[in-house]
Amino acid sequence: MLIVKKFGGSSVADKDRIYNVVERCIEDYEKGNDVVVVLSAMGKTTDGLLAQAADMNPDAPKRELDMLLATGEQVSVAMAAMACSAKGVPAISLNAFQVAMHTTSTYGNSRFKRIDTERIRHELDSRKIVFVTGFQGINKYDDLTTLGRGGSDTTAVALAAALRADACEIYTDVDGVYTADPRVVPDAKKLKEITYDEMLEMATLGAKVLHNRSVELAKKYGVQLVVLSSFDKVEGTVVKEVTKLEQMLVSGVTADKNAARIAIMGVADEPGIAFRVFDLLAAKNINVDVILQSIGRDGTKDISFTVNTTDLKDAVRLLEENNDKINCQEILTDENVAKVSVVGAGMQSNTGVAAGMFEALYGVGVNIRMISTSEIRITVLIDEADADKAVRAVHDKFLSED
């Protein structure tokens, strides 16, 4: 069997944890499996490098940021290969150049185009455990790129697809996907399985268990994922395309506090304005979520939407620089907002979920500022300070066992 395993930063934060990871890999190796291991940077390395870079140049070129950040995973894989070799098991570390993991040209938020498998297969054939740098790739200029936060999950899925792996295991510091964040909702339950689409809505919305692009890729290539704990040997959550026998109405409640609201005030009430705004942002790879457009009056209207807090500065600058195309009177921003969502494949055939969610929020006095929905998700934008309270109330409504 060919198994791709992925361990995040907290799972390789220090020597003992790296040895723990290596031992789990050796167990599978010694059963005769081929083992490919994707690692993130150790502990808080990426944050540390980002802070150093911000100190050096608050507006550092993204190309150079990626060059800098890519060192983090290279350290992890070299360390893991050393640990593996200390255990008497042959191992090798490979970076984005060595595997040849080709991505689009975009720095900081790149996507895989093609992964060469020759080198990895060669190393597996000589019975080595292969440690591969997560999070990074190379583009057509031979420059290093990174896949955005949590990109190592995507590396694992892309490798599993390219290698036609028999299993793709994502090890994290939680032991599966829960109906809500257990730190916020003490009676949150672990899901045995979840569909790609549900996971995708959860991932996009801040469940932080899996990188959303990794789930998209897994769905596209039919890679069955398992989310497991790096520390405890307990059953995890399987992410797959499945028709559940007993489909739950709601699978989970998530909160995303990494949201900021931008309001573009007083633009002309004419067609095409919204397109121009979102096209500008899309061209710079800034994801826009929950959108609200006011009803025009006095010939003007307002457009509000959310972006990731990390994109806020770039988005506002971009809008200001291009105000000749938009002609707004004012741009307002608010970082103290959060998105709270309910996700469930069962919602497709049940109309009562939205009403139940609004009732639950009303019951704890949470004011809803904006709403957005998909076939299997309802998201509300609320004050950040209300987020935990809102999650508990909504979880209570749909997922409590009492």
Binding site for its own copies (CB under 8 A): 15, 18, 49, 52-53, 55-57, 59-61, 63-65, 67-68, 70-71, 74-75, 77-79, 81-83, 85-86, 92-93, 95, 97-98, 119, 142-143
Q: Please name the amino acid found at residue 121.
A: R
Beta carbon nearer to its own copies, 142 or 246: 142
The number of helix segments (H) and strand segments (E) in the chain equals: 13, 18
Tokens of 83: 């640990």
Q: How far is the CB of 17 from its own copies (least distance, A)?
A: 12
Rounded least distance, CB 159 to its own copies, Å: 18
C-beta of 231: minimal distance to its own copies in Å?
20
d(CA 146, CA 107): 6
| CA atoms of 384 and 369, how far apart (whole Å) | 11
CB 34 within 8 A of CB 129: no
Q: With respect to its own copies, which residue has the nearer C-beta, 32 or 88?
A: 88
Question: Which of 15, 114 has the CB closer to its own copies?
Answer: 15
Closest approach of its own copies to the CB of residue 389, in Å = 42
Considering the complex, what minimum distance in angstroms separates the CB of residue 10 from its own copies?
18
Task: List CB contacts of 313: < 8 A, sequence separation 6 or more.
Answer: none
H-type helices in 103-211, by residue range? Answer: 118-125, 151-162, 196-204
- Alpha carbon separation from 252 to 74, 191, 337, 372, 380 (Å, rounded): 35, 9, 20, 17, 14
Q: Comparing C-alpha atoms, which of 338, 335, 356, 339 is closest to residue 347?
A: 356
Task: Compare residues 63 and 121 and give the one whose CB is closer to its own copies.
Answer: 63
What span, in angstroms and rounded, lies between the C-alpha atoms of 12 and 381? 35
In whole angstroms, the minimum distance from the beta carbon of 82 to its own copies comes to: 4
Residues 278, 347, 361, 239, CA torsion sign:
negative
Exposure string over 60-79, b if 16+ CB within 10 A, otherwise e = eeebebbbbbbbbbbbbbbb
Least separation in angstroms between residue 67's CB and its own copies is: 4
Residue with tokens 């996009």, as numbered in its chain? 204
Q: Please measure the distance between the N-terminal and C-terminal CA atoms of the chain and give it in whole angstroms.
A: 43
Which residue, 64 or 383, is less far from its own copies as judged by CB?
Answer: 64
Nearer to its own copies, 107 or 305 (CB): 107
Cα–Cα distance list, 75 to 24, 39, 116, 293, 342 (Å): 20, 10, 22, 47, 39
Pick between residue 61 and residue 352 the one whose CB is nearest to its own copies.
Answer: 61
- 103/110 Cα distance (integer angstroms): 6
Q: How far is CA 163 from the centre of its chain?
A: 22
Smallest separation (angstroms) from its own copies to the CB of 54: 10
If the CB atoms of residues 106 and 293 are measured against its own copies, the closer one turns out to be 106
In the complex with its own copies, which residue's Cβ is closer, 48 or 222? Answer: 48
CA 368-369-375 angle, to 5 degrees, is 75
- Specify the amino acid at residue 86: A
- Based on CB atoms, which residue is closest to its own copies, 26 or 259? 26
Determine whether 321 is exposed, middle or buried from the number of CB atoms within 10 Å of its CB (0-12, 13-18, 19+): exposed
The minimum distance between CB 194 and its own copies, in angstroms, equals: 36
Find the shortest distance in angstroms from Cβ 335 to its own copies.
26
